Amino acid sequence: MGMVEFRTVSKYFGNMVVLRDFDFTVEEGEKVAILGRSGSGKSTLLRIVMALETIDRGRVSLDGETLWDADAGVDPGRGGERGRIRHMRSKVGMVFQQFNLFPHMTAVENVAAAPRHVLGIDAGAALALAQELLARVGLADRARHYPSALSGGQQQRVAIARALALEPKIMLFDEATSALDPELVSEVLDVMRALAHERSLTMLVVTHQLGVARAIADRVCFMDEGRIIEEGPTEEFFGAPKNERTRAFLSAVQVA
Amino acid sequence: MPFSWSFVWEVLPALGRAAVISLVVTVGGYLAALAFGLVFFGLTRARRESIRRLGRWTIELVRSTPLLIQAYFIFFILPEYGIVLSALTTGVLALGLYHGAYTAEAYRAGLESVPAGQWDAVHSLRFSRFAAYRYVIIPQLLPPITPVLGNTFITMLKDSSILSAVAVPELMFVANDLGSERFQYTEPITLAALIYLIMSLSFALILYWVERRMRRA
């Protein structure tokens, strides 16, 4: 059974179809990059896995447990559902395009916040853990800085450390390097690459930067109009794309 | 009639005591407004549509009728239904209710000023609702709403003079009372105005200082 499974999932925003009878499986430890034009549904895919969005049809499961089942009429706002969704979220960590750090907390406080206020670890131990994680992303010396005093690349590395603090099995990267100046991409990519060496960690990387997909992924999927229209092992995908639309996208992005 | 300094010294102690009452009513009304605002705001955010509508209508009703009429309702009309409140309680309640409708609006604006990405972050990090508000959301909405809520306090201090009409023994009521004893209003009303001015400016100064400290933090 896959770590992430989508079975005939559909998702609409009003009249717009974001996912259409979407089938998708990611095995444990797999590193998958998802490419596609903006509006192709790739970010929504991640937000569904993080339980930030629901689905309209089909079923999504994580690690063998059902997250969404449209037929069972799951209502995320209902009291009993909240606990279940929080449980499912414990499997997943997410990194956002705009970092979404807490601006009123220092870097180390950002990373320590969830261990303290969610897991209930005492302040000293949480800060020690956070300091360790910041060292892992190369920011031990920036621990006392507020996000506003950090570069975009540094902020994103703090955000990665913050997501790792809850020890997720699945890490989601939603255009994690897209808001960065070109010269800051590599420092974030280095951290992502190091994470990709962790055998058991499942990674889903949404991007439109081909270099990011190449550096991280074992498998690349290309999404268009709410579906995966082409996928394959990274070398194969970039070496000999079969679909016309994939080729058009790849040449357009490479020129840009 | 010439301005009489001796009359000034005569009425000053009584006006000073009345100013304290004004302050007490304002502080009480302010705390009530913060609480009522939270309740009103909570109603407008309820899951059930009918409750949200109730909240919106209540806010609209309170904001679209004069404070004086609301005070009359509480002081003169509620007793007919067996609810008798002291003048002071009436004052606190009327001020709190009226300005609660405005603080609800301030809470809403403050909450909307927190970017949606912050909610994505707290959800993905599994914060409970309480923890999300306590550690992430409220600390971020306090700086933008502090000036608004601070000015509300100063407005309420001045609005408390309206409560003289329902016999709250505050500054305006006493000034009017002292003036009518001799049909000589110049001294007590001028003094009352000066006292309001001094109190308002003092709080504006305090607010300015708090805002500056907050911006530095």
Number of domains in chain A: 2
Q: Are A96 and B126 a contacting pair at CB < 8 A?
A: no
CA distance B216 to chain A (A): 12
Residues in chain A within 8 Å Cβ distance of B45: none
**In whole numbers, what is the pLDDT of chain A averaged over residues?**
92
Residue A78 has pLDDT above 70, yes or no: no
Q: Average of pLDDT values for A165-194?
A: 95
Final residue belonging to a domain, choices A167, A184, A199 = A167
CATH number at residue A202: 3.40.50.300
A96, A155 Cβ separation under 8 angstroms: no
Buried-exposed string A65-76: b where 16+ CB fall within 10 A, e elsewhere: eebbebeeebee
Q: Are A163 and B120 a contacting pair at CB < 8 A?
A: no
End-to-end Cα distance, chain A: 39
A179 and A238 in a single domain? The answer is yes
A112 and A59 in a single domain? The answer is no
Residues in chain B within 8 Å Cβ distance of A89: 123-124, 126
- Report ipTM for this prediction: 0.93
A167, A91 Cβ separation under 8 angstroms: no
Range of the domain at A225: 1-91+171-256
Buried-exposed string B107-127: b where 16+ CB fall within 10 A, e elsewhere: bbebbeebeeebbbbbbbbbb
Residue B1 has pLDDT above 70, yes or no: no
Query: Confidence class of residue A68 from pLDDT cuts 50, 70 and 90?
Result: very high
A86 and A143 in a single domain? The answer is no
User: pLDDT per residue over A3-44, tens digit each?
Assistant: 999 999 999 998 899 999 999 999 999 999 999 988 788 999
User: pLDDT per residue over B162-178, tens digit each?
Assistant: 999 998 999 999 999 99
Q: Which amino acid is at A115?
A: P
Whole-angstrom Cα distance, residue A165 to residue A143? 15
Final residue belonging to a domain, choices A140, A167, A194 = A167
Q: Are A94 and B136 a contacting pair at CB < 8 A?
A: no
B123, closest residue in chain A (CA to CA): A52
A219 and A186 in a single domain? The answer is yes
Looking at residue A251, what is its pLDDT?
86
Give yes or no for B208 touching A (CB within 8 A): no
The encoded tokens of residue B97 equal 């209710």
Q: Are A89 and B139 a contacting pair at CB < 8 A?
A: no
A82 and A201 in a single domain? The answer is yes
Q: Are A96 and B117 a contacting pair at CB < 8 A?
A: yes
Residues in chain B within 8 Å Cβ distance of A114: 125-127
Query: Which residue among B47, B117, B124 sits closest to A77, beta carbon to beta carbon?
Result: B47
In the stretch 134-193 of chain B, residues with CB closer than 8 A to chain A read 134-136, 139-140
User: pLDDT per residue over A221-256, tens digit each?
Assistant: 999 989 999 999 999 999 888 888 999 888 888 765
Looking at residue B4, what is its pLDDT?
87
Give yes or no for B73 touching A (CB within 8 A): no
Of all residues in chain A, the percent with pLDDT exceeding 70 is: 96
A15 and A60 in a single domain? The answer is yes
A183 and A241 in a single domain? The answer is yes
End-to-end Cα distance, chain B: 55
A3 and A84 in a single domain? The answer is yes
B115, closest residue in chain A (CA to CA): A100
Whole-angstrom Cα distance, residue B108 to residue B41? 7
**In whole numbers, what is the pLDDT of chain B averaged over residues?**
93
State the fold for domain B5-216: MetI-like fold (1.10.3720)
Q: Are A51 and B123 a contacting pair at CB < 8 A?
A: yes
Name the strands in the sheet holding A31-36, side by side, starting at the edge strand that comes first in the sequence: A92-95, A170-174, A202-206, A31-36, A219-224, A227-233
Q: Are B125 and A162 a contacting pair at CB < 8 A?
A: yes
Q: Which one, of A176, A158, A155, A178, lies nearest residue A46 by Cα?
A: A176
Looking at residue B203, what is its pLDDT?
95
CA distance A255 to chain B (A): 31
A143 and A193 in a single domain? The answer is no
Best residue of B47, B125, B215 to probe chain A, by most A CBs closer than 10 Å:
B125
Q: What are the domain boundaries of chain B?
A: 5-216
CA distance B188 to chain A (A): 49
Q: Around Cβ B216, how many Cβ atoms within 10 Å?
A: 6
A83 and A156 in a single domain? The answer is no
A187 and A63 in a single domain? The answer is yes
Of all residues in chain B, the percent with pLDDT exceeding 90 is: 84
Final residue belonging to a domain, choices A109, A143, A167 = A167
Query: Which residue among B121, B127, B140 sits closest to A100, beta carbon to beta carbon?
Result: B121
CA distance B57 to chain A (A): 25
Best residue of A67, A102, A106, A172 to probe chain B, by most B CBs closer than 10 Å:
A102
B130, closest residue in chain A (CA to CA): A117
Looking at residue A83, what is its pLDDT?
86
Question: For the residues of chain B, what is the DSSP string, one character each?
Answer: ----HHHHHHHHHHHHHHHHHHHHHHHHHHHHHHHHHHHHHHHHT-SSHHHHHHHHHHHHHHHTS-HHHHHHIIIIIGGGGT----HHHHHHHHHHHHHHHHHHHHHHHHHHTS-HHHHHHHHHTT--HHHIIIIIIHHHHHHHHHHHHHHHHHHHHHHGGGGGGGT--SHHHHHHHHHHHHT--HHHHHHHHHHHHHHHHHHHHHHHHHHHHHHH-
Query: Which residue among B47, B134, B136 sits closest to A102, beta carbon to beta carbon?
Result: B136
The encoded tokens of residue A125 equal 């131990």
A226 and A111 in a single domain? The answer is no
- Residues present in chain B in total: 217
Residues in chain A within 8 Å Cβ distance of B46: none
CA distance A50 to chain B (A): 6
A159, A174 Cβ separation under 8 angstroms: no
